[in-house]
Amino acid sequence: MARAVTPRRKALNTLIAWTIGLILFFPILWIFILSFKSEGAAILSPLEVLRAPWTLESYQIVQGRSDYFGHFTNSVVISLGSTLLGLLVAVPAAWAMAFVPSARTKDILMWMLSTKMLPAVGVLYPIYLMFISLHLLDTRIGLVIVLMLINLPIIIWMLYTYFREIPGEILEAARMDGAGLREEVLHVLTPMALPGLASTVLLNVILAWNEAFWTLKLTAAKAGPLTAFIASYSSPEGLFYAKLSAASVMAIAPILVMGWFSQKQLVRGLTFGAVK
């Protein structure tokens, strides 16, 4: 029997949730405010910053100095490419671990997850040398491969969780009706796990979009995504807060808009199978 929630308790929970949300959102809000201030006003005290006049000067300078749309295109290609390539590898792997019984499945999953605990700098040197020898340095395809491998454990873990919620009897019935492996995966398994697939795609696009370490180490000018675009405004002469804030807003705005419009699908996919 569900426990009744008093209005006072509900109001308290709402207040706590809004407080935590505002604390988490405040850095983004402050960056947004600084991006509309002049460079001189951006270094003033918070109250003086709020009273300073609003201007588009920083956005005009950033747009005139940098190729924003080139970096934006690189981010789209790299994030979507690495996610789709990861799905091509992860769907068969997750299917095999979910529907082909093995005593080593959990060990394999834990081993894959343990690779995410390895510090990225620990494998930077060999990967950098491989990129030089394979002529992949500062290329989109090189970043697509690296980010796919980085996020592959997460993709497999998520898909494995969703596939495990699908009754195996449905796949057995499809096999009895003459479905081969290709038809079983494409026409039976994939449609049933569509919410999970959608949330997996969205989450990994966000992870690839926000990746900074590898995109800064393996790119220079040609394939630099928006993370490199932001880093270009941190110079030895100092931090230019207004321009850096404007570049940050231009970089995070697309992914924030995508997350806002897809939040319902993302929540549905992340809670897929949580309630029996």
What pLDDT is attached to residue 275? 43
Query: Quick one: which H or E segment has residue 105?
Result: helix 105-114
Q: Across 110-119, 171-180, 244-253, which has the greatest mean pLDDT?
A: 244-253
Which of 29, 32, 39 is CA-nearest to residue 249? Answer: 32
Task: Give residue-wise pLDDT tens across range 176-225.
Answer: 877 777 777 777 777 787 777 888 888 889 889 988 899 888 887 788 89
At 6, the pLDDT band (50, 70, 90 cuts) reads confident
Q: What global pTM score does this model have?
A: 0.82
> Pseudo-torsion of CA 80, 69, 38, 238, nearest 10°?
70
Structure tokens at 247: 């570049």
What pLDDT is attached to residue 72? 92
* Bridge partner residues of 235 (DSSP): 238
Contacts of 105 (CB under 8 A, 6+ apart): 97
Q: How many CB atoms lie within 10 A of CB 242?
A: 26
Instruction: Please provide the CATH number assigned to the domain covering 66-232.
Output: 1.10.3720.10
Task: Give residue-wise pLDDT tens across range 44-100.
Answer: 888 888 888 999 888 888 888 888 888 999 999 999 999 999 999 998 888 888 877
Q: Per-domain residue ranges for the chain? A: 7-58, 66-232
* Bridge partner residues of 238 (DSSP): 235
